[in-house]
Amino acid sequence: MDWSHLFAFTVPPLELVLRGTLLYWFLFCVFRFVLRRDAGSMGVTDFLFIVLIGDAAQNGMIGDATSSSDSMLLIATLVGWNVLLDVLAYRSPAFERLAMGRRQCLFKNGQLQRHQMRRAFITAEELRDKIHQEGIDDFAGVERIYLEPSGEVAVIPKQSGKK
C-alpha cells in the first residue's frame, strides 16, 4: 500500500493558508456581528445555522484538498488565527473591544431598553425567563440586565437595602 498520498499536499500549501484565512475572518465577522445573543442557551435554529455554516465553510476552505497534510495545515491556520486574536485582545484593550465587543444594557432604571433589545433580537419574554432562572419573580427585583460580549445574559438583582 502506498501511504504517500496521505501526507502529500494535493493543493498548494499557500492556497490552503489563504483559503483558511479568508474563511476564518468571514466567519469571525458573522459570529461577532450576527450571532452574539444567547438568552440562556442555543435554540434549534441557532444550532442548525452553525452546523450548516460549518458544512458550507468546509467546502470553501478545503477546495480540492484530500490529504491529511492538507487538512492539518488548514486546521493549523485556523488555530493560529484564533490564538493570534486572543493574544492581541489580551495585549490591547482597543483591539479587545473591537474583537469581542461591549456589553449592552437591556434593562435599567426599571425600564426595558427596547432599542438595545431590538438590536440584539431579544424579547421581553426571554428576559423574563432569564430573571426567573435567577430566582427573581419580576423586573421589580432587577437593577440591570446586560447582554455580555460572550452572548450570555447577566442579571444584576436589586440590593434589598438600596433605596
pLDDT number for residue 60 = 75
Of residues 9, 131, 155, the one with CA closest to residue 70: 9
Give me the pLDDT at residue 40, please. Answer: 45
Query: CA-CA distance, 86 to 143, in Å (whole number)?
Result: 32
Cell of 29: 465577522
Tell me the backbone φ, ψ of residue 87, rounded to 5 degrees. -65, -45
**Structural domains of the chain ordered from first start:** 11-100 (no CATH), 104-157 (3.30.240.20)
Q: pTM of the predicted model, to two decimals?
A: 0.60
pLDDT at 102: 83
Note the pLDDT of residue 149: 79
State the Cα–Cα distance between residues 40 and 152, nearest whole angstrom. 7
DSSP line for 102-139: --EEEEETTEE-HHHHHHHT--HHHHHHHHHHTT--SG
- Provide the residue-wise pLDDT of the chain in tens; the chain has 163 residues: 777 777 888 889 999 899 889 988 888 887 777 665 544 455 666 667 777 777 777 777 777 777 778 878 888 888 889 889 889 989 999 988 888 778 899 999 999 999 999 988 889 999 999 999 999 999 999 999 999 877 789 999 998 655 4
Measure CA 62 to chain center: 22
For the record, the C-alpha cell of 134 comes out as 435567577
* Predicted local distance difference test score (pLDDT) of residue 39: 41
Q: Is 135:121 a contact under the CB 8 Å cutoff?
A: no
pLDDT of residue 41: 52
Go through the chain and tell me how many residues it has.
Answer: 163
